[in-house]
Amino acid sequence: MTIPTTHPFDFDPTCGMTLEQLQRVEPPEAPEGFDQMWRERYALALTVDPQPLLTPSQATHKQWQVYDLTYRSSGNFQIGGWLALPKRGELTRGLVVGHGYGGRDAPNFDLPVENAAVLFPCFRGLSRSAHPRISSDPAFHVLHDIDKPERYIIGGCVEDLWIAVTVLSLLYPRIAGRIGYSGVSFGGGIGGLAIPFDPRIDRGHLSLPTFGHQALRLTLPSVGSAAAVQRYQAQYGNALPALRLHDAAVAASRIRVPMISSVAMFDPAVAPPCQFAIANAMPSQFNENFILDAGHFDYRGSASQNILLNKKLRQFFKAP
Burial 50-78 (b: 16+ CB within 10 A, else e): bebeeeebebeeeebebbbbbbbbbeebe
**How far apart, in whole angstroms, are the C-alpha atoms of residue 42 and residue 23?**
31
**What are the structural domain ranges in the chain?**
19-310
User: Which residues neighbour 258 within 8 Å (Cβ) at sequence distance 6 or greater?
Assistant: 202, 203, 204, 286, 287, 316, 319
Q: What is the pLDDT along the chain (320 residues), one digit of tens a residue?
A: 689 999 999 999 999 999 999 999 999 999 999 999 999 999 999 999 999 999 999 999 999 999 999 999 999 999 999 999 999 989 999 999 999 999 999 999 888 898 999 999 999 999 999 999 999 999 999 999 999 999 999 999 999 999 999 999 999 999 999 999 999 999 999 999 999 999 999 999 999 999 999 999 999 999 999 999 999 999 999 999 999 999 999 999 999 999 999 999 999 999 999 999 999 999 999 999 999 999 999 998 899 999 999 999 999 998 66
Residues 6+ apart with CB under 8 A from 138: 101, 102, 186, 224, 225, 228
CATH classification code of 19-310: 3.40.50.1820
Instruction: For the beta carbon of residue 150, count every other beta carbon within 10 angstroms.
Output: 11
Beta bridge partners of 78: 72
Rounded Cα gap, residues 150 and 111, in angstroms: 35
In 3D, which of 6, 5, 15 has the Cα closest to residue 270?
15
Q: Which residues contact 200 (CB under 8 A, 6 or more apart)?
A: 165, 169, 176, 177, 179
